[in-house]
Amino acid sequence: MFRVTADSLEAYLAFDPDRTADLEKLHAVLRKAAPSLKRHFHEGTPAGEAGMRMKMIGYGQFRYAIKPGKTTLWPVIGVALQKNYISVYVTVTRSGKPLVSCYAGELGALRSGGNNFSFETFEDLNAPEVSALFAEAADIFKADKENPVRYMQGE
């Protein structure tokens, strides 16, 4: 399994110098489309606790229950380096459907799932559609802070 061994945002951005420019270009789109979602380093869930251990760049965050009496923070939008591509995770829904799936086939992505898409280089993306996705995610989250909580808890 590919693991990023960074412990800060700066270290994450520098982890793979060949892809730093792609991360920064994506950040520029996110910053313009969704300025209310502040960028931060997401450490992942500590070992021994329920949740995903993946480190990533987060945009915005919310708290949700991972088991009775235990909560964790998670990004509204997460950007993660993978071995051969970059993945973007969006935890917002539209009418109960994962938002990324509403943009299926429009993002220029290498691959796409219900709540995520991946790309090799930023130039592979359809930047206007990716921008629209990020803006809509931020608007939905601003209007309903519990939207991603319901998604993460499978409600």
Question: Using an 8 Å Cβ cutoff, are 65 and 71 in contact?
Answer: yes
pLDDT in tens, 26-65: 999 999 999 999 999 999 876 666 566 789 999 999 988 7
Q: Taking all residues of the chain, what is their mean pLDDT, rounded to a whole number?
A: 91
Q: For the stretch 61-86, what's the b/e string if a residue is b when 16 or more beta carbons lie within 10 angstroms of its beta carbon?
A: bbebebeeeeebebbbbbbbbeeebb
Q: Please return the burial class of 88, using the count of CB atoms within 10 Å of its CB with bins 0-12, 13-18 and 19+.
A: buried
The whole-number pLDDT of residue 42 equals 94
Per-residue DSSP letters for 35-57? TTS-EEEE--PPTTSSS----EE
Backbone dihedral angles phi then psi of residue 98, each to the nearest 5 degrees: -50, 130
Find where tokens 């979602």 sit.
37
Residue 72, token pair as written in the block? 């964790």
pLDDT in tens, 57-97: 999 999 887 777 778 889 999 999 999 999 999 999 999 99
Looking at residue 125, what is its pLDDT?
97
**The pLDDT value given to residue 48:** 66
- What is the per-residue pLDDT across 131-143, written as a single tens digit (0 to 9) for each? 999 999 999 999 9
